[in-house]
Structure 1
Amino acid sequence: MAVDALDRAMGALIGGALGDALGMPTQLLSPARIAELYGHIEDFVAPAADHPVSKGLPAGAITDDTEQALLLGRILISSGGRFDHARWVNALLDWERDVKARGSYDLLGPSTKRAIDAINSGVPAEEAGRSGDTNGAAMRIAPVGIMIPPEPLDALVAKVAETCRATHNTSIAIASAAAVAAAVSLGVSGGDWRAASGHAVAAARLGAALGHWVTGGDIAARILWAQELVRGKPEKEAIRLIVDLIGTGVASQESVPAAFAVLEVADGDAWRAAVISANLGGDTDTIGAIAAGMAGACSGVSRLPQDRIARLKGIHLAEVRTLTDDLVAARAAKAGSGEEVAR
């Protein structure tokens, strides 16, 4: 069981990286523009020279989705029993400076960018995230799902909310991140992607009661609707429904249900989820990171395409393995003690 949990936990992080890297060159592009440039994305490609945010990155490069997930994982481990909010904010600020130095500031999501700018201007961290309703929290939340057991669910959701406070302290963002974390957590425990989707809906309902309330469609209801919308449909038709009806923008109520719809269409296959996401248009890297990360948690890294993993850029697999070991060890300790976290 310990070996299986490690395999699935690694699958969540590496699956997310695959989805992120495959969607990197197509993010912000329309489906028509993707088809014009690449035909149909089936493997890593370099972005166009005039890409608005990804220009200059090599094929297979990860983006902020994966970098922030790994950063959050490291802060979770270094925080010990209670999430170190100040350390997380400082880590985000350091990371932002590094991103700027690399010339990639525009890769930051709108809510994270706005919150970091506010913190830099002196706004208290607990206030900076009160308007963050986009998908940045959901895209990086997988380490919480790895570290925290799926039950008690309210403890898992509370930890999610705590990590959202500085940048995404809203009902919609917390519900979205809680859904993804719950799916990953159940996957690491041995659940398949269908059971993980059900656990995600329950977590989204709990998360919607936390943070600052903002307007928008109910995340739990939209996940259920999105998966039902594409269930049993041919892939081409399902993609059209995701693009036209669910939406693929950075808004949580679009991209997170879209990721669960992709999981449905891919039948839980992580690489297939990454491929579908990369061709949607819109926030392709984040939808791919979420969908393929959840699928990877439910299958394990051993069932992901090893040749594609070897071609990822900007990620050190040995470091990810070490982080995974630490997160799973912390999970085992919490499960063994019956500890409820973030209370």
Structure 2
Amino acid sequence: MTAAHDSGYSGARDPRPDREPRLDRDPRLDRALGAYYGLALGDALGMPTQVMSRADVARVYGTVTGFEPARPDNPVSAGMPAGSVTDDTDQAVIVGRLLDEGRGRIDPMRLADELLRWEKDMRAKGSLDLLGPSTKAALDAVARGVPPEEAGRHGSTNGAAMRVTPVGIATRPEPLAALVDRVVQSCQVTHDTTVGIAGACAVAAAVSAGIEGAGLDDAIAAAVAAARAGARRGHWIAGADIAARIEWACGLVRGRAPGEALDLISDLVGTSVASQESVPAAFAVLALTGGDPWEAALTGANLGGDSDTIAAMAGAVAGAVHGLAALPADAVRTLRDVNSLDLEPLTVRLLTLR
């Protein structure tokens, strides 16, 4: 196990390193950086509590109030130091780079190749943080010769939603059909299902709306509309309607005390890798915290379950709404130092695609 992921991972170097337009006076840049770093923030805060029950998180950590190292008995993140990001951030960087290289288009086979290369690198480092179940099954199918448009027909987990933030950075919220098309490209090879696409559309739309200047309520409304549109794409699979569950989950926690709300999210909404649990859980966290990036990321981390992904999705939306300036500067420095994280050049290039 290495000390931390290098989240500058790329299977291929950017062919246009000099394409760096000046966006320093564009207010959307702060919000776009807030989305990418907010994702990494939630990911790193939730890293040590993933696959733990909410009760075990409370027993071991009391309340997570900052970056913690993973315990040696954690079956996924054992050995990771405080502030380390996981596959959520790594794969979001891969998607961002493919979007940049493809000028807004993601080639499904390139994505498959890059994800397989990423896992190979993780295994070589001794990491236990590998591909999720839907992604792994789909990429194994691609390796057997299954066409990419068929490989992801059973993917129902949150793997597409966790890595979709750069699509939201690179794509305006309207027209919605164009946003959904780009999300589908990022989903197809691993999560080409009604549930997988709907969850990814919700996160991408909320991020995109935030970058465009929307407040939290409008960003959540954009997520609901996009989830409804996304549920009409891909292969149908049985699963609760994500748009309806986002609305319900947000209403469930509003006005509740934090401890009571966390119990409700854990017991009723669910915190598993299933899209229809973890995506609504992330939006419930946003509703509970008012979209404050630090509080949203911490709240997600304290849930347990798939806490790194829930906190990452919530952190991305909160960061998009409030901007990088709303993230604690010392926390951002830790993310950069521990993970060699440098998202600014890529974010600038993605923003030009809007």
TM-score w.r.t. length of structure 2: 0.91
In structure 2, the residue matched to 1:266 is: 289
For 1:61 and 1:223, the matched residues in 2 are separated by 29
In structure 2, the residue matched to 1:37 is: 60
Q: 2:150 aligns with which of 117, 123, 127?
A: 127
> Shift of residue 95 of structure 1?
1.2
The letter of the residue matching 1:66 is T
The letter of the residue matching 2:34 is G
| Pairing 1:316–2:346 present | no
For 1:274 and 1:93, the matched residues in 2 are separated by 28
In structure 1, the residue matched to 2:75 is: 52
For 2:284 and 2:40, the matched residues in 1 are separated by 19
Q: 1:73 aligns with which of 96, 103, 125?
A: 96
The letter of the residue matching 1:137 is A
The letter of the residue matching 2:82 is A
Greater fraction of residues in helix: 1
> Shift of residue 119 of structure 1?
2.0
> Shift of residue 81 of structure 1?
4.8
For 1:133 and 1:163, the matched residues in 2 are separated by 14
Contact 2:75/2:128, CA 8 A, preserved across alignment: no
The letter of the residue matching 2:176 is L
In structure 1, the residue matched to 2:126 is: 103
Identity %: 56
Q: How does 1:187-226 map to 2 (within 5 A)?
A: 187-226=210-249
| Structure 2 portions without partners, runs of 5+ | 1-22
> Shift of residue 314 of structure 1?
5.1
The number of residue pairs the alignment matches comes to 330
1:31/1:82 Cα in 2 relative to 1: closer, same or farther (>3 Å)?
A: closer
1:282/1:309 Cα in 2 relative to 1: closer, same or farther (>3 Å)?
A: same
| Structure 1 portions without partners, runs of 5+ | 332-343
1:327/1:4 Cα in 2 relative to 1: closer, same or farther (>3 Å)?
A: same
Q: 1:151 aligns with which of 164, 174, 180?
A: 174
1:82/1:49 Cα in 2 relative to 1: closer, same or farther (>3 Å)?
A: closer
1:314/1:107 Cα in 2 relative to 1: closer, same or farther (>3 Å)?
A: farther
Q: Which shifted more, 244-253 or 88-97?
A: 88-97
In structure 1, the residue matched to 2:8 is: none
Q: Secondary structure at the match of 2:66?
A: coil
For 1:316 and 1:327, the matched residues in 2 are separated by 20
For 1:117 and 1:78, the matched residues in 2 are separated by 25
> Shift of residue 127 of structure 1?
1.6
Q: Secondary structure at the match of 1:48?
A: coil
Q: 1:9 aligns with which of 32, 36, 58?
A: 32
In structure 2, the residue matched to 1:161 is: 184
For 2:105 and 2:263, the matched residues in 1 are separated by 43
Q: Secondary structure at the match of 1:173?
A: helix
In structure 2, the residue matched to 1:82 is: 105
TM-score w.r.t. length of structure 1: 0.93
Q: Secondary structure at the match of 1:61?
A: coil
Contact 2:119/2:130, CA 8 A, preserved across alignment: no
Q: Which shifted more, 114-123 or 127-136?
A: 114-123
In structure 2, the residue matched to 1:339 is: none
Contact 2:179/2:205, CA 8 A, preserved across alignment: yes
Q: 2:45 aligns with which of 22, 25, 40?
A: 22
Contact 2:198/2:229, CA 8 A, preserved across alignment: yes
For 1:82 and 1:233, the matched residues in 2 are separated by 42
For 1:84 and 1:314, the matched residues in 2 are separated by 31
Q: How does 1:176-325 map to 2 (within 5 A)?
A: 176-312=199-335, 315-318=339-342, 320-325=343-348
For 1:184 and 1:157, the matched residues in 2 are separated by 13
> Shift of residue 128 of structure 1?
1.4
For 1:298 and 1:49, the matched residues in 2 are separated by 36
Contact 2:278/2:310, CA 8 A, preserved across alignment: yes
> Shift of residue 105 of structure 1?
4.7
For 1:36 and 1:238, the matched residues in 2 are separated by 18
| Pairing 1:139–2:189 present | no
